[in-house]
Amino acid sequence: MSSGTRTSVCQASRRGQAGPGYLATPPGGAADDDRVLHFVDDDPGYLSWIAGHPEGYVVSTARRPSAAYLMLHRATCKTITRLQPRARTFTGPWSKLCGDRDELEAYARGLGGTTLACGHCLRSR
């Protein structure tokens, strides 16, 4: 077995809603990490997930998630719900990990990293 991120096709989210995406488990991941959905080259699935989970969280990361870049956002953050200048896709060069905040932070720890809070939607007040 490789030491990379394992993914398996998921036909429904853990909340019982149909939707595309991949269940993501980091190397050495714990059982709770299987509730994180990973979207790569799947803008319709990603946009459907954020529309259906406005209370959820999203980590923007590389196509193959790594500890090098793990930016945590609220699912409603304008920086991940609207295409940025010169961008043509949400889930092309960058992928999205979606789930509850605790699940995403546990996933980041499984990668040997920590999430960075978005300066727009999670800034300190």
pLDDT single digits (tens) 45-99? 999 999 999 999 999 999 999 999 999 999 999 999 999 899 999 999 899 999 9
Q: State the pLDDT confidence band at 3, using cuts at 50, 70 and 90.
A: very low
**Residue 18 · residue 101 · CB < 8 Å:** no
**Residue 64 · residue 4 · CB < 8 Å:** yes
pLDDT of residue 64: 93
Q: State the pLDDT confidence band at 35, using cuts at 50, 70 and 90.
A: confident
pLDDT single digits (tens) 87-125? 999 999 899 999 999 999 999 999 999 999 999 999 865
* Residue 12 DSSP one-character state: B
Instruction: Please state whether 41 falls in left (phi above 0), alpha (psi between -120 and 50) or beta.
Output: left
